[in-house]
């Protein structure tokens, strides 16, 4: 278990899947957790209940669109004002609209950029000031194996995730002098609601690409995020931690 006692964390896209698992993992370490969600209130309330049961010092929901810079700034400001600081930011919220380049609509390209890349930018920008002022903090961005190796039909998604790696490394250099660390976690194929809907034949084909011969779990990713967010990784910044079963090395 990682120790987050006395720490305040904000996790985006926390209502389901990887985001929910991350919020629960931080709660196990006694963090105070703000769970962001976009619209699924039922799932968000379920996640909040799990976080409270896991042992969070405090927990609450925050509904806002990460693609809205003003809303991100308000969310961070409200967290700092209410709970006295922000020590951990996890940029997990993301969407994928899969389509071949020639058929990809401009609005689908722009929306993925807005949520996956600009969303992280907005929140990092908002969180930088309070973290620098308190001379400490950890930001973890969720990128993807697709951002490193590409994937047919996911040009927009891959571009946003590759961009997030560059953003991570650049901001890590900017904030290091104030003891604010910025890292990324790059999951591979993870067993979530999205992959659960795939045909068994498709899952089997995916597993053929993975040396460990299985899909990862949301908890596998959550533990990697918690490590980077914790003081155990106090000398780690600007890194991309791959959680992909060896699919991309």
Q: In this structure, are residues 38 and 14 in contact, taking their beta carbons and an 8 Å threshold?
A: no
- Retrieve residue 211's tokens: 């040396």
Q: In this structure, are residues 137 and 89 in contact, taking their beta carbons and an 8 Å threshold?
A: yes
Looking at 157, 189, 235, 248, which residue is catalytic? Answer: 157
List all residues 6 or more positions away from 81 whose beta carbon is below 8 Å from its beta carbon.
none
Torsion of CA 95, 123, 159, 108, to 10 degrees: 40
DSSP-derived secondary structure for 110-130: HHHIIIIIIHHHHHHHHHHHH
Active site residue 37: no
Query: Burial of 204 by CB count in 10 Å (0-12 exposed, 13-18 middle, 19+ buried)?
Result: exposed
Residues 40 and 23: their CA atoms lie apart, in Å, by: 16
Please give the positions annotated as active site: 157
């Amino acid at each position: 278990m990682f120790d987050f006692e006395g720490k305040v964390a904000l996790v985006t896209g926390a209502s389901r899947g990887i985001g929910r698992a991350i919020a629960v993992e931080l709660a196990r370490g006694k963090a105070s957790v703000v769970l962001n969600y976009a619209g699924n209130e039922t799932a968000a309330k379920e996640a909040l209940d799990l976080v409270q049961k896991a042992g969070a010092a405090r927990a609450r929901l925050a509904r806002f669109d990460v693609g809205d810079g003003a809303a991100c700034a308000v969310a961070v400001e409200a967290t700092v004002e209410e709970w006295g600081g922000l020590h951990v930011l996890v940029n997990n919220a993301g969407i994928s609209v899969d389509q071949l380049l020639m058929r990809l609509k401009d609005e689908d390209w722009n929306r993925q950029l807005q949520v996956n890349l600009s969303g992280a930018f907005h929140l990092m920008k908002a969180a930088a000031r309070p973290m620098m002022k308190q001379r400490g903090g950890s930001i973890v961005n969720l990128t993807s194996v697709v951002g490193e190796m590409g994937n047919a039909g996911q040009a927009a998604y891959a571009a946003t995730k590759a961009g997030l790696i560059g953003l991570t490394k650049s901001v890590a250099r900017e904030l290091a002098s104030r003891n604010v660390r910025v890292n990324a976690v790059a999951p591979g194929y993870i067993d979530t609601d999205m992959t659960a809907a795939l045909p068994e034949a498709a899952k089997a084909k995916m597993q053929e690409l993975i040396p460990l011969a299985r899909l990862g779990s949301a908890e596998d990713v959550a533990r990697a995020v918690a490590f980077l967010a914790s003081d155990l990784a106090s000398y780690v910044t600007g890194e991309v931690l791959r959680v992909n079963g060896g699919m991309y090395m």
